[in-house]
Structure 1
Amino acid sequence: MTHPPALTELDVGGKAVFLRCSFDVPLDSTKKLLDPKRVRDDSRIRDPLPTLSYLINNDAKIILAGGWVGRPKGEDPDLSMAPVALRLQELLKEEGLLKHPILLSPNCLDGSTPRSVYRNKEEVVKAVNGLKQGQVLLLENVRYDPEANSNDERFAEFMASLAGKGAIYVTEAEAHTHRPEATVTSVPGIIRRNGGTAVFGIRYAEVIKYIGSIARMLEKPERGPFIFFLSGKKIETQVGITSKISVTHSLLGKMRKGDILVVQGAVTYTFLIAEEYLDVIEEKWGELEKTVGLYNERITSEAGKLKKEHRDAQAIADNEARLQKEKSDKLKEIIGLADNGITYLIGNSFVEWKEIGEQLVFAARVYLKAREKDVAVLTNADHIITNKFPDKYGNLPADAELKEFEAVNGIPEGWLGVAPGIKTIRIICKNAESASLLILAGPISIEDERLEQFSRTNRKLFASIAKAKSDGAVTIGAGGDTAAIIRRWKGEDAFTVISNAGGATLELIEKGTLPGIEAVEKCNQ
């Protein structure tokens, strides 16, 4: 297969460029629709700026499909791309790139009601035809049109037709390329058939170069130590989902003696419980696996039955939650673990109580696979603990106390772990400095500023990763929460590449490719 040419090798002057981005940004519902500050985090809008710079400076006509914001049911005005367009305009102006005002189509920047692209074709075509060289037209939320997610052929044909003959398709849709949506997987091929070209954007080409090649890098016999951080808050248990746990299993298959799995963040407390009960879990492994399998079959079967009965999505979700809780309780019963046994070990530290039984099985599976591969697993030797719960953004109340807890477990009732302790972070940093490949796949602490001043956890970690990078290591920050905490504590220079994507990054690490990547590569066969 011939690899796509670099975007900077193409003459884009005067040509229509269909640029696919992933502008699924968090919104502040307290701000008005036409307020750019409604965009709470603009990281995904900033990501394609190098590509936009090249296209604008070389006089392309840019049709920008930003994908979706949220999960609108129909033309939900609260999930319009309007604030995204206004924030993009501000960023381009700051960068000295704003030759012409940003357009939005269908247009609601005049205060009119947000509307879908496909049901307002004439308005959209007229706006595209009026594009000037070096101007950007942002298309409205693609999920306003259900044809997008169903990868409808006629919808894809229309979207590609906006760019016309001999156009250029460019993808910077890092967070969306794992989804077979029309503008991700079908439009590039249609543009190619219409005499055009399909390539990767400047930033996404770098992401693919490093993250997409991790599996191949791990297979090199001469490589040095690999460190993978299984960190953050979530251990997903949904059937069939690509999660940090499934990616960890895949990577463990390629890891060897000298590599290290670092388990940190809220995830670590589930692992500490699993480690304490590992002998029992291993002894009863067959019964536990059988129980998980039987309940997963029930969840799938009953969901299908409810769909046939035309039950609404909430009824299906409620039934799944009930079965997940029932499964968790049964697994805890087999292990012989009561809730007070959990709090005895970790105090009020975070675990997903409704799913803790299965999550312990997941954690034990990682321990057993790591032992089989002779891979070290680093959890906590000590903790930084607090007596107050953080809010959903990771900020502690003003009256929260912080202190060191110098033991592996036995955190007092009413206290919870929020960061690795001084001894733990020292061990982590010492190992991180010697890595040849390092992936940070989640924060290792909550984001609270007072906690960081108290412990300097993230600054210490990023300094050690920067040392590894300066010695030639490839260092990767993966996931939206990871990228946010790296930016918060000024750790950008420590990383070779930082990905703002979540599920897409995990799948790219695990599989080395994604549907959107394959669609562009197929255009270059």
Structure 2
Amino acid sequence: MAIMSKKTVKDVNVQGKKVLVRVDFNVPMDKETGAITDDKRIRGALPTIQYLIDQQAKVILVSHLGRPKNGPEDKFSMKPVAARLAELLDKPVALASDVIGEDAKAKVADLQDGAILMLENVRFHAEETKNDPAFARELSSLAELYVNDAFGTAHRAHASSAGVANFLPGVMGNLIEKELDVMGKALDDPARPFVAILGGAKVSDKIGVIDNLLDKVDTLLIGGGMAYTFLKAQGKEIGLSLCENDKLDLAKMLLDKAAEKNVELLLPVDSVVADRFAADAKADTVMDIPSDRLAMDIGPETIKQYSAKVAGAKTVVWNGPMGVFEFDAFAEGTRAVAKAVAESGAISIIGGGDSAAAIEKLGFADQVTHISTGGGASLEFLEGKVLPGIDALLDKNPRRIFAAGNWKMNQGVPKEATDFLKALKPVVADAKATVAVGVPFTAIEAALKETAYTNINVAAENCHFEDKG
């Protein structure tokens, strides 16, 4: 995967300009009081916001909060977020009562250099998640420059994270720059041995990540519910443990790839099991899982093996819990791995989500190199996917080569186009140039689907009465 160098907020002149900043202020809140229970996402955006203030930009912040389904709802208002940001900056933060309405426009017009305005929850508009061009155009009309500093939403092609970059020059903020620097180096030029730890419930959620990491790591440690699909694929008895039977062949293929690549892929050798999925279920440690038990965590021998591999690593990437971490009786595997990563002395990257929660809950946050702010985004980055919210930003090199080709009316049948693009993707995966293909209109839908989250852009060919040519 070629990680192209994108312009940052420090590469452009922001003084006196209206700057639209996409931040990820989707913070957890107490359901009873509405109070913010964890403000680290707000704190994470402070360096970019403070830089813009210092440069006397007119700062317009846009974010989502929660998942409103029916337009504006008080419980999803950005009001408490604006108040908390004002406390952290020790500076007033104005709040618009809408996103692209009259109040937002009036407050933007009155915005002074170095002042901050927060728009209301962008997901109060259904057009946001649909990446509606008209909505993106209206949102972009509020500003002269766009800064994306929301890594947590960079994997979504939404109006405020990708669409506005079609109408405004877009650059990345400090937070996204840090995410790309740390994770990009770990994937492209890691200190070795490079150990990856993957957990979570389903193999299907991590197929692309496993496949991509097998080309990069020295050792892959697998835990969580997904491990038992691999164990069953090896012919092991897994009892009532979580298993995706329709992914057994895929698991075998990944095991074979690991062997071909000389990657050491470790699976649990013992497990903590229970007779039911419950916090108060009786826990037993076994080497062989009885037919009437389900695995809930990795066992002590597996913890010992995994910890030893982590201790010898120079780079560690961790994404996903080792067991049912939310149940204390089945959290020891995750706790032990978190401790091993924290004490390893390696370059350690925690891929957001449950892994980040575990590291922070156990007090190890200051002992790891980097905790990603994006669960889904970090996962897709590890998978080698192109993130739309970053891909849409300006290249640092304005003279980047644009390599495009069309195939006229050839391969106009969707399957033909799909087969061709499947073969093309690995060939251009590390291309430094912008890559585009022009396809017949009959194959556009198939081409867009096949090239989603890759570095291949799709253009349309006009139609012609000939079958080929």
* TM-score w.r.t. length of structure 1: 0.67
Instruction: Give the corresponding residue for 1:433.
Output: 311
Q: 1:349 to 1:88 in 2, by over 3 A?
A: farther
In structure 2, which of residues 211, 234, 237 is the aligned counterpart of residue 249 of structure 1? 211
In structure 1, which of residues 101, 122, 140 is the aligned counterpart of residue 120 of structure 2? 140
In structure 1, which of residues 126, 130, 140 is the aligned counterpart of residue 106 of structure 2? 126
In structure 1, which of residues 256, 272, 291 is the aligned counterpart of residue 231 of structure 2? 272
Report the alpha carbon displacement of residue 86 of structure 1 after superposing the two structures with TM.
0.4
Instruction: Give the corresponding residue for 1:89.
Output: 83
Structure 1: 5+ residue runs without aligned partners?
Answer: 107-116, 193-197, 237-242, 278-344, 391-395
**How many correspondences in the alignment?**
396
Report the alpha carbon displacement of residue 426 of structure 1 after superposing the two structures with TM.
1.0
Once residues 297 and 54 of structure 2 are traced to their aligned partners in structure 1, the CA distance between those partners, rounded to angstroms, is: 45
Report the alpha carbon displacement of residue 27 of structure 1 after superposing the two structures with TM.
5.9
Report the alpha carbon displacement of residue 427 of structure 1 after superposing the two structures with TM.
0.8
Q: Alpha-carbon deviations, 1:97-143, whole Å to 9, x = none? A: 1311441432xxxxxxxxxx34xx22210122233555432223333
Matched, 1:99 2:91: yes
Q: Percent identity?
A: 32
Matched, 1:443 2:445: no
In structure 2, which of residues 351, 367, 374 is the aligned counterpart of residue 478 of structure 1? 351
Once residues 82 and 16 of structure 2 are traced to their aligned partners in structure 1, the CA distance between those partners, rounded to angstroms, is: 22
Helix, strand or coil at the partner of 1:516: helix
Instruction: Give the corresponding residue for 1:260.
Output: 219
Report the alpha carbon displacement of residue 58 of structure 1 after superposing the two structures with TM.
5.0
Query: What is the one-letter code of the residue matched to 1:517?
Result: I
Instruction: Give the corresponding residue for 2:180.
Output: 208
Q: 1:126 to 1:422 in 2, by over 3 A?
A: same
Matched, 1:75 2:64: no
Instruction: Give the corresponding residue for 2:34.
Output: 36
Once residues 205 and 177 of structure 1 are traced to their aligned partners in structure 2, the CA distance between those partners, rounded to angstroms, is: 12
Report the alpha carbon displacement of residue 214 of structure 1 after superposing the two structures with TM.
4.3
Once residues 53 and 327 of structure 2 are traced to their aligned partners in structure 1, the CA distance between those partners, rounded to angstroms, is: 38
Instruction: Give the corresponding residue for 2:339.
Output: 463
Instruction: Give the corresponding residue for 2:247.
Output: 359
Report the alpha carbon displacement of residue 518 of structure 1 after superposing the two structures with TM.
1.9
Give the conservation status (yes or no) of the 8 Å contact 2:82–2:95: no
More helix by share: 1
In structure 2, which of residues 273, 277, 289 is the aligned counterpart of residue 410 of structure 1? 289
1:138-177 superposed matches below 5 A: 138-163=118-143, 167-177=144-154
Helix, strand or coil at the partner of 1:346: coil
Once residues 4 and 327 of structure 2 are traced to their aligned partners in structure 1, the CA distance between those partners, rounded to angstroms, is: 48
Helix, strand or coil at the partner of 2:303: helix
Instruction: Give the corresponding residue for 2:404.
Output: none
Q: 1:68 to 1:2 in 2, by over 3 A?
A: same
Report the alpha carbon displacement of residue 199 of structure 1 after superposing the two structures with TM.
2.6
Once residues 94 and 213 of structure 2 are traced to their aligned partners in structure 1, the CA distance between those partners, rounded to angstroms, is: 43
1:359-398 superposed matches below 5 A: 359-387=247-275, 389-390=277-278, 396-397=279-280
Give the conservation status (yes or no) of the 8 Å contact 2:325–2:334: no
Q: 1:78 to 1:248 in 2, by over 3 A?
A: farther
Report the alpha carbon displacement of residue 475 of structure 1 after superposing the two structures with TM.
1.8
Report the alpha carbon displacement of residue 512 of structure 1 after superposing the two structures with TM.
6.1
Helix, strand or coil at the partner of 1:417: strand
Helix, strand or coil at the partner of 1:175: helix
Matched, 1:235 2:108: no
Matched, 1:502 2:375: yes
Report the alpha carbon displacement of residue 91 of structure 1 after superposing the two structures with TM.
5.1
Give the conservation status (yes or no) of the 8 Å contact 1:215–1:512: no
Once residues 275 and 112 of structure 2 are traced to their aligned partners in structure 1, the CA distance between those partners, rounded to angstroms, is: 58
Matched, 1:199 2:171: yes
* TM-score w.r.t. length of structure 2: 0.74
Once residues 36 and 136 of structure 1 are traced to their aligned partners in structure 2, the CA distance between those partners, rounded to angstroms, is: 23
Once residues 440 and 383 of structure 1 are traced to their aligned partners in structure 2, the CA distance between those partners, rounded to angstroms, is: 20
Helix, strand or coil at the partner of 1:506: helix
